[in-house]
DNA sequence: AAAGGACACAACCGCGGACTG
DNA sequence: TCAGTCCGCGGTTGTGTCCTT
């Protein structure tokens, strides 16, 4: 049978989306939720086809998307998953919260593929291209792929024994042919004279316990000076983000032995933050909310950290939707409450996204409101 | 400083599966 | 069972930006 075009293409706009179009789409979807994509552009007042709207939303505008380059850990996951699933990008993406299939596909084609080839690995078969290639490839647990490891351990990957990994990591420094018992290690030798030896180590994230503040009831604040960037921060599952919600402030925190922070420094409210040289913010700690928003967006280059709470997110949406010439001052209470109504009255699909913002610490909105 | 190439990523295209009447 | 419709997926293209010469 003949296939109907997804939309009447006459008069429809193509190409890059404008900020105005984004606002219309976001506003519509946040107010009405996701319904029939074919009807979305007409209802939202967009000269786009429904498919284009869906792609724009799922790949770029969704508030639960994680932006930025994939971390080494995510890359490792992608490689592992690709070895098992092939080019099923959506399946792969389903294992990486906040990442889209399109993003992973692009990253694979532009980064990982080349990296693997450079290391003498066939990106399709995941096997060495040649036995004579000067690159040493050592892949642990060939018969126990990543997914199986996850299932067997029934644990988040970050829960593996990192002490062992660190030992192995140290071992690697002296012997690149060593076999890491808990991570995938791919070491390459320099292929070009005069170039610094290239060594790529793909491994599980480093121990959380070091340089990490563990608050009461397991809330974790990552300190960004322990050798891995924000994008490498292990995924924190929603159930792991638990904060004691006393009236005004977090009651107390316990710190790891290696942490330079004390509970008292945190208890003095923003002193703790000043110690970190972070922008001022207040901890959102409201028992009326369904959960605490822990939305850390740490710009690795600028060392900026933003923590979103409900109002932040709502105000940002408000700025996005209602104020074309936003100057970053989006703190008016009446506008905030208006937007809160949008949240409160929103149908379930939107509530879903609201929840997702709470769920993932790496979430970031694709707009810069500064 | 300018031109051209390389790169990265957003967006599009078209196919196929799922669903519905 | 089948035609019609919608949505999701994977491959591909277009375009802006960065880098090199």
Query: Which residue in this structure is represented by tokens 């970190």?
Result: A276
Q: Which nucleotide is nearest to A106 (CA to C1')?
A: B9
pLDDT of residue A69: 76
Q: Which residues contact A132 (CB under 8 A, 6 or more apart)?
A: none
For the cut 50, the answer to whether the pLDDT of residue A326 exceeds it is no
Measure the CA–CA gap between A39 and A15, rounded to whole angstroms. 20
* pTM for this predicted structure: 0.50
User: Can you tell me the mean pLDDT for A102-113?
Assistant: 83
Compute CA A172 distance to the chain's CA centroid, rounded to the nearest angstrom.
Answer: 29
Q: Please, which pLDDT band fits residue A329 given cuts at 50, 70 and 90?
A: very low
Sign for the CA dihedral angle at A238, A240, A241, A246 comes to positive
pLDDT of residue A139: 41
By the 8 A CB rule, do A187 and A172 touch? yes
CB of residue A1 closer than 7 A to nucleic acid strand C?
yes
Strand C nucleotides where any atom sits below 7 Å of a protein CB:
3-12, 14-16
Strand B nucleotides where any atom sits below 7 Å of a protein CB:
7-16
> B11 C1' – A121 CA distance, angstroms?
30
Reported as a single tens digit per residue, the pLDDT across A152-185 is 444 333 333 333 333 333 333 333 333 233 333 3
Residues 28-87 of A with CB under 7 A from strand B: 48, 51-52, 55-56, 59-60, 69
> C19 C1' – A66 CA distance, angstroms?
27
Residues 329-348 of A with CB under 7 A from strand C: none
Q: Please, which pLDDT band fits residue A68 given cuts at 50, 70 and 90?
A: confident
Residues 74-93 of A with CB under 7 A from strand C: 87-91
For the cut 70, the answer to whether the pLDDT of residue A241 exceeds it is no
Reported as a single tens digit per residue, the pLDDT across A226-239 is 333 323 333 333 33
Q: Which residues contact A257 (CB under 8 A, 6 or more apart)?
A: none
């Amino acid at each position: 049978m003949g296939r109907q075009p997804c939309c009447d293409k006459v008069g429809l706009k193509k190409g890059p989306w404008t900020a105005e179009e984004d606002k219309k789409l976001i506003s519509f979807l946040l107010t009405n939720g996701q319904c029939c994509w074919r009807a979305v552009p007409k209802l939202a007042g967009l000269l786009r086809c429904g498919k284009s709207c869906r792609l724009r939303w799922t790949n770029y505008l969704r508030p639960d998307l994680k932006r930025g380059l994939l971390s080494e850990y995510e890359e490792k996951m992608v490689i592992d998953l690709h070895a098992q699933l092939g080019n099923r990008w959506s399946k792969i993406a389903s294992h990486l919260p906040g990442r889209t299939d399109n993003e992973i596909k692009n990253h694979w084609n532009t980064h990982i593929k080349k990296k693997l080839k450079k290391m003498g690995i066939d990106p399709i078969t995941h096997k060495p291209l040649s036995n004579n290639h000067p690159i040493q490839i050592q892949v642990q647990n060939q018969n126990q792929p990543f997914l199986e490891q996850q299932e067997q351990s029934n644990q988040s990957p970050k829960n593996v024994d990192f002490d062992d990994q660190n030992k192995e990591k140290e071992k690697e420094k002296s012997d690149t042919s060593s076999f890491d018992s808990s991570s995938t290690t791919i070491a390459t030798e320099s292929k070009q004279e005069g170039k610094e030896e290239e060594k790529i180590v793909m491994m599980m994230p480093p121990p959380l316990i070091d340089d990490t503040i563990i608050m009461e009831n397991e809330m974790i604040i990552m300190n960004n000076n322990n050798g891995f960037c924000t994008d490498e921060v292990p995924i924190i599952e929603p159930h792991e983000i638990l904060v004691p919600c006393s009236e005004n402030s977090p009651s107390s925190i316990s710190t790891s032995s290696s942490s330079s922070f004390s509970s008292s420094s945190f208890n003095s409210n923003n002193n703790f933050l000043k110690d970190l040289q972070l922008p001022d913010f207040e901890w959102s700690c409201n028992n009326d909310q369904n959960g605490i928003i822990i939305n850390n967006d740490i710009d690795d280059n600028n060392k900026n950290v933003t923590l979103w709470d409900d109002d932040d997110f709502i105000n940002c949406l408000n700025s996005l939707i209602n104020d074309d010439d936003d100057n970053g001052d989006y703190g008016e209470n009446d506008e905030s409450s208006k937007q809160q109504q949008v949240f409160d009255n929103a149908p379930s699909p939107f509530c879903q996204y609201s929840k997702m913002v709470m769920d993932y610490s790496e979430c970031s909105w694709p707009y810069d409101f500064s």
